[in-house]
Chain A
Amino acid sequence: MVQFTLPAHSRIAKGRDWPAPAGAKRPKTFSIYRFDPDSGDNPRMDRFTLDLDDCGPMVLDALIKIKNEIDPTLTFRRSCREGICGSCSMNIDGLNTLACLKPIEEVKGEVKIHPLPHLPVVKDLVPDLTHLYAQYQSVEPWMKTDTPAPPGKERPQSPEERERLDGLWECVLCFSCSASCPSYWWSGSRYLGPAILLQAARWVFDSRDEAKPERLDALDDPFKLFRCHTIFNCTNTCPKGLDPAKAIADLKREVFKRAE
């Protein structure tokens, strides 16, 4: 059965409180999920109060400031700080997003930050993405062809054929969508989830790819693809403004058309 309550060791305790720096003009409190697997302690929420006059505009700026100046043990993934690498995905103010694209000003009151929900936590804001990466590998996200490329040239694609990939190629694999999807929460071991299905669509609808039959074969399943119940959390949460729900609907129709 589905688990609706947290196991005893996952219940969140109250953590440490770091007060605002002296003379702070625009104090803002960040309540951050902390978990250290080596300590044996339950997770806790630590509260850090910063002066926004002395901090960059994005939530990631605040996290980096806290790590640099207050608590160097705070652990999170980040790299490009401009929404391209997809590393800093986390749950901010109840919505999965990229910390680097989320302005602090958009959050009213305390900024509550948790790791992406329903994934095993490695430490603090770092979830274990092993299964998601393995599912990504399982859809074989690379071009598969029997026809060789024209000698010395790239494979041709018309502007219209290329346009079909708009809204698919921009995904940065931050997994905000998959971690927001109740269907993925309940059946993630078998359901591929919105991020992976959007990537599958990116290859299914690529005019240059010649492996569509086997790609659709691999999706023709009550769990892998059809566990999507059009909840639309994926589309609501995507920090890149993409529409995984539509990509999934297109895949379902594509599988259906084979029998039409």
Chain B
Amino acid sequence: MALKMQSPLGRARGRGAAKSGIAHHWFMERLTAVALVPLMLWFVAAVIANFGASHAEISAFFGQPWNAALMIMTILFGLYHGISGLMIVLGDYIHGPAKHLTLALAVPALAVLAGIYLIVCVLILALGG
């Protein structure tokens, strides 16, 4: 192990504060959490109401603008909230810089991909696909 002669204060200060606007993310976590309460209630109700529905019926359901809008909001807020949580978990438990950077780039990239894919699916259904 390398000899550590850095002073305790130097180690405690580290690189200093990032000032990366973390408070905004912190606020968005809470905002999306609150928004997801009614959205998830609507989503569960929608799943129950459409249980066993045919493709044409689902297409007609998303053909209603409000249903498509609420579904897209649920996707956006749900993914944002889930990914914020996952990024925190990565920060907590994955400490190797290379490992952390790889995952911290891969997770949001996959979320963007999933988000766009899901929204396109909703739009195709809504437009009668």
Q: Report whether chain A binds chain B.
A: yes
* Residues in B neighbouring A256, C-beta threshold 8 A: 23-24, 26-27
With a CB–CB cut-off of 8 A, which chain A residues contact B18? 220-223
CA distance A73 to B72 in the complex (A): 67
Q: Is B12 a contact partner of A223 (Cβ separation < 8 A)? A: no
A220 and B22 within 8 A (CB): yes
Cβ of B98 < 8 Å from any Cβ of A?
Answer: no
Q: Which residues of B contact A255 (CB under 8 A)?
A: 22-23
What mask results when residues 79 to 106 of chain B are scored 1 for a CB within 8 Å of chain A, else 0? 0000000001001111110010000000
B20 contacts the other chain (CB 8 A)? yes
Given contacts A226-B22, A256-B23, contact A1 B93 (CB under 8 A): yes
- The reply to whether A1 and B17 contact each other, CB–CB distance below 8 Å, is no
Task: Contact check, A220 vs B19: say whether CB atoms are below 8 A apart.
Answer: yes
Number of A-B contacts (CB under 8 A): 76
Residue interface mask A173-200, B partner, CB < 8 A = 1: 0000000000100110110000000000
A255 to B7, CA, bound (A): 29
How many chain-B residues does the 8 Å CB contact rule pick out? 26
Interface string of B53-85 (1 = CB under 8 A from A): 000000000000000000000000000000000
Interchain CB contact (< 8 A) of B9 among A2, A137, A222: A137
Instruction: Give the CA-CA distance A218 to B16 in the complex, in Å.
Output: 7
A139-174 with Cβ < 8 A to chain B: none
> A2-B95, A187-B95 known; 14 other A-B pairs, CB under 8 Å?
A1-B94, A2-B93, A131-B8, A131-B11, A138-B13, A187-B91, A218-B16, A220-B23, A221-B17, A222-B91, A252-B26, A256-B24, A256-B27, A259-B23
Which 3 residue pairs spanning A and B have beta carbons closest together? A134-B8, A134-B12, A221-B17
Interface residues of A (CB under 8 A from B): 1-2, 130-131, 133-135, 137-138, 183, 186-187, 189-190, 217-224, 226-227, 229, 252, 255-256, 258-259
Show the binding face of B for A, using Cβ within 8 Å. 7-9, 11-14, 16-24, 26-27, 88, 91-96, 99
Of the A-B pairs whose beta carbons lie under 8 Å apart in the complex, a sample of 21, sorted by A's number, is A2-B92, A131-B12, A133-B8, A134-B9, A134-B12, A137-B9, A189-B11, A190-B14, A220-B17, A220-B20, A221-B18, A221-B19, A222-B91, A223-B91, A226-B22, A227-B92, A229-B92, A255-B22, A256-B23, A256-B26, A258-B23
